[in-house]
Amino acid sequence: MNLWRDMGLEGKRVLIVHHDDLGITEAQNRAYLDLGYPTGSILMPGAWAPQLREGDLGVHLTLTSEWAYPRMRPLTTGRTLHDEQGYLWQTVEDVWTHVDADDAEAEMRAQIEAAKKLRIDVTHIDTHMGAVGRPDLIEAYQRLALQDRIPAVLPDAVSIDRAPLPQELKTALEAVLEQSTLPRVRVLDAYGVKPEEARLRYIELLSQQGPGVYHLIHHAAVPTAEGRMLPDWKTRKADLETLADSHVIRVLNEFVLLTYRDMREALRSYI
């Protein structure tokens, strides 16, 4: 399969601007609507998940609930999915230590079905905090995508190599993913950059990329009282301001902008 060639994208600089963490706060959802970039994914256990229905929307499959507020509970009753208080595990390491793959797959399926019940036309799936990175979990993640004939955000070999993971896990993941029949993308993420450096970092990060298909993660949120409750709200506010900046928009427009809906429709001729 050469999906990029068949979509006329081979040899081009192609970008998906992807809004992570929709549904966790109204501040995230408002930023999505204000910015106007169509692609994002929703945490279905989030309190604000039902607010968004239209757009190039996927499911941000959620096995972790990292903050003190807001906390999230699983949609299913799998006994390995939650801590003693009934909340999803706080860290990815907790998930990889405790969660049974069958429980995780049932929970992820339930989250996809919850989106469909809201009449969201699910265009793709991705994963909150990369929690499906354990090899058996990423196999389940791919199965779900193939069952629904939708793309799953899968990192390419360069993205895995750059990830802050033990080498043995990188090797195991690549062994799983190199057998995948689903397309893979180069993941770009400026998260963790100081807010005052975000604009320059976005411009540098995007400008240095050659031909390829890139998935740019951002977490834009408006600085409401609710939005300021998030521990990293300054970073999220900086993402909002950066993506509305005219110089950044100019660099973004040097790419062919792609949606997962377009990718999904092309992929369905293969699966």
173: left (phi over 0), alpha (psi -120 to 50) or beta: alpha
As given in the structure block, the two tokens for residue 132 are 């499906």
Q: How confident is the model at residue 56 (pLDDT cuts 50, 70, 90)?
A: very high
What confidence tens digit (pLDDT) does each residue in 171-214 have? Answer: 999 999 999 999 999 999 999 899 999 999 999 999 999 999 99
The whole-number pLDDT of residue 1 equals 62
- What range does the domain containing 96 cover? 3-267
Number of H helices, E strands in the chain: 11, 7
CATH number for the domain including 97?
A: 3.20.20.370
Non-local CB neighbours of 204 within 8 Å, separated by 6+ positions: none
What confidence tens digit (pLDDT) does each residue in 18-52 have? Answer: 999 999 999 999 999 999 999 999 999 999 999 99
3-state DSSP: the chain helix, strand, coil percent, rounded to 5?
45, 15, 40
Residue 256 clears pLDDT 90, i.e. is over it: yes
Which sequence positions are flagged as catalytic? Answer: 20, 219
Domain count within the chain: 1
Intra-chain end-to-end CA distance of the chain, in Å: 10
What confidence tens digit (pLDDT) does each residue in 225-255 have? Answer: 999 999 999 999 999 999 999 999 999 999 9
What confidence tens digit (pLDDT) does each residue in 101-151 have? Answer: 999 999 999 999 999 999 999 999 999 999 999 999 999 999 999 999 999
Instruction: State the alpha helices, DSSP H only, in the chain.
Output: 3-6, 26-35, 92-98, 101-117, 135-148, 157-162, 167-177, 198-207, 233-243, 246-252, 260-267
> In angstroms, rounded to a whole number, what is the distance separating the alpha carbons of residues 16 and 166?
28
The whole-number pLDDT of residue 271 equals 84
Strands 39-42, 13-22: pairing is parallel
Q: Output DSSP code: residue 189.
A: E
List Cα–Cα distances, 105 to 5, 61, 193, in angstroms: 32, 10, 33
The whole-number pLDDT of residue 266 equals 97
